[in-house]
Structure 1
Amino acid sequence: MPSDTQSVDRPEVRPDVRPSGLTLSLEPINATVSLRDQAYAKLRQAIAEADIYRSREEIRLDEKELTEALGVSRTPIREAMTLLEQEGFLRTVPRRGVYILRKTKREIVEMIHMWAALESMAARLATQRATDEEIAHLRHMFDNFRDSTPAEHIDEYSDANIAFHSAIVRLSKSEIIFETIKNIFVHVRAIRKMTIAQSDRASRSIVDHMRIIEALEKRDTELVERLVKQHSLDLAAFVEANCDFLD
């Protein structure tokens, strides 16, 4: 059994952890930083990248599989999971184990409303703080879809869509907004990923994105704030009307 301060010497591989059929992409960590902190960062990232709403089945984390995947003892894994539970990513069920926490439809809609408020403010600040080059980069995020529709490459477009919204927040150059929004991002990201292929939302979203970029390029503070907010509110309305699987 490895100690809590020394990592296990393992080959550099990316083992799959499969709690209840879900695959989390993880790799061993080293001891240059606190093992707890590294385990926390890797688990949080893996949860953020997982499709946690793809089915109604509860997603249980297997502690033994996590220790083997990360190459550390159970203590830093447990400490990391405690932090993630405090932040609302996990929940412990007595005598059953630790599960990834999924939100109800009402909670998701409220999170998207919060996202709309924060991202629209970030977009407003971006008109004042982002450079021309930084704004121009937003257009290049959709270069791969110029000669085809988003629906033809839905997985790639979904990733570009999520990256676009993250970029808007970062262009605000506001650490307060970034730190406030990052915990709800896990759930909003998962819902964006699930719903982007439904009801031709991908094609409509790219039109919205281009209008947002044009408003940023013109430094039109009021317009970009309104466009970004409405874009997310449209997602909230779609979830409210169509995502009964969340209940």
Structure 2
Amino acid sequence: MNATRIAPLALYQEVAERLRQRIFAHELPPGTWVDEQALAAQYGISRTPLREALKVLASEGLVTLKPRRGCYVTEISERDLDEIFSVMALLEGQCAASTARRAGDGDLVRLHTIHDELEKAAASNDIDGFFEANQAFHQELQRIANNRWLTQAIVDLRKVIKLSRHHSLFIDGRLQQSLLEHRVILAALDRRDEAGAEAAMREHISSARRALARIASTRDEAAA
């Protein structure tokens, strides 16, 4: 058996993942029309699994299916970001509170290890490294909280946020500010302070949104 072959039932899932990564990399920028015929030819598949893949991405909010007009990569507006980050603050705040309640000593050791990577990345102004460690930190919180529905909701919203063309860490001073926010979150977790961890996480998420808003404001001023 060829281990590289994609099982027929999983074909649309593999196609969805390939398209998802192209969207996140902005190879397919927001607003782009998805040429089904060209993609099917490129991947060497029929249009049936491609359409199933697009339905999956539509359910995640990454593409928009428009009757009689086709499929487009979703364009995310500033209002969308306001609404998404508001929900994210609630969900991730709840996740942090649950982590403070459930975390064992070993869990806190792992969180401190990840946080050390944040400190190192910030010290060298390594934005990519900081971003990866930040993702790992939030994922570890979700693992400790152990609520699969909460985790899935957070993961789905973070996918949509990736449609934004900008990243808050590129704002001057944002990396250091984010690091300080992580220190506050971790300190609350060390104290097993549920309310403190929740409040700190909500502020962390809201702060990221404010940074993105500053990027948009600067961009609009430059275009004026």
Asked if the contact 2:166/2:215 (under 8 Å) is kept, the reply is no
Asked if the contact 2:88/2:154 (under 8 Å) is kept, the reply is yes
Partner of 1:209: 182
In the aligned structure 1, how far is the partner of 2:165 from the partner of 2:91? 16
Asked if the contact 1:151/1:202 (under 8 Å) is kept, the reply is no
Supply the AA of the counterpart residue of 1:106: R
Partner of 1:157: 130
Supply the AA of the counterpart residue of 1:188: I
* 1:132 counterpart (97, 105, 108): 105
Instruction: Please state whether the residue corresponding to 2:96 is helix, strand or coil.
Output: helix
In the aligned structure 2, how far is the partner of 1:130 from the partner of 1:196? 28
> What is the correspondence of 1:84-233 to structure 2 with a 5 Å cutoff?
84-93=57-66, 97-144=70-117, 146-147=119-120, 149-150=122-123, 152-189=125-162, 191=164, 194-233=167-206
Instruction: Please state whether the residue corresponding to 1:169 is helix, strand or coil.
Output: helix
Change (3 A) 1:102 1:52: farther
Partner of 1:40: 16
Partner of 1:26: none
Instruction: Please state whether the residue corresponding to 1:59 is helix, strand or coil.
Output: coil
Deviation per CA, 1:45-70, whole angstroms, max 9, x where unpaired?
554x43589x7x63343435544665
In the aligned structure 2, how far is the partner of 1:69 from the partner of 1:76? 13
Instruction: Please state whether the residue corresponding to 2:146 is helix, strand or coil.
Output: coil
Higher helix share: 2
Deviation per CA, 1:37-94, whole angstroms, max 9, x where unpaired?
33334434554x43589x7x63343435544665533211111102322432102356
Asked if the contact 1:162/1:192 (under 8 Å) is kept, the reply is no
Deviation per CA, 1:171-209, whole angstroms, max 9, x where unpaired?
211112112222211133555961112021001111111
Asked if the contact 2:121/2:127 (under 8 Å) is kept, the reply is no
> Structure 2: which 5+ runs fail to align?
none
Supply the AA of the counterpart residue of 2:99: A
In the aligned structure 1, how far is the partner of 2:115 from the partner of 2:165? 17
Pairs aligned (count): 218
Asked if the contact 1:122/1:168 (under 8 Å) is kept, the reply is yes
Supply the AA of the counterpart residue of 1:85: A
Instruction: Please state whether the residue corresponding to 1:61 is helix, strand or coil.
Output: coil
Supply the AA of the counterpart residue of 1:219: R
Change (3 A) 1:162 1:62: farther
Supply the AA of the counterpart residue of 1:137: R
Structure 1 residue 222 displacement after superposition = 1.4
Instruction: Please state whether the residue corresponding to 1:152 is helix, strand or coil.
Output: coil
Change (3 A) 1:222 1:144: closer
Change (3 A) 1:198 1:113: same
Runs of at least 4 residues off by over 6 Å: none
In the aligned structure 1, how far is the partner of 2:140 from the partner of 2:210? 23
TM-score norm. by structure 2 comes to 0.80
Partner of 1:6: none
Supply the AA of the counterpart residue of 1:43: L
> What is the correspondence of 1:18-97 to structure 2 with a 5 Å cutoff?
30-31=6-7, 33-44=9-20, 46-47=22-23, 49-51=24-26, 58-64=31-37, 66-67=39-40, 70-93=43-66, 97=70
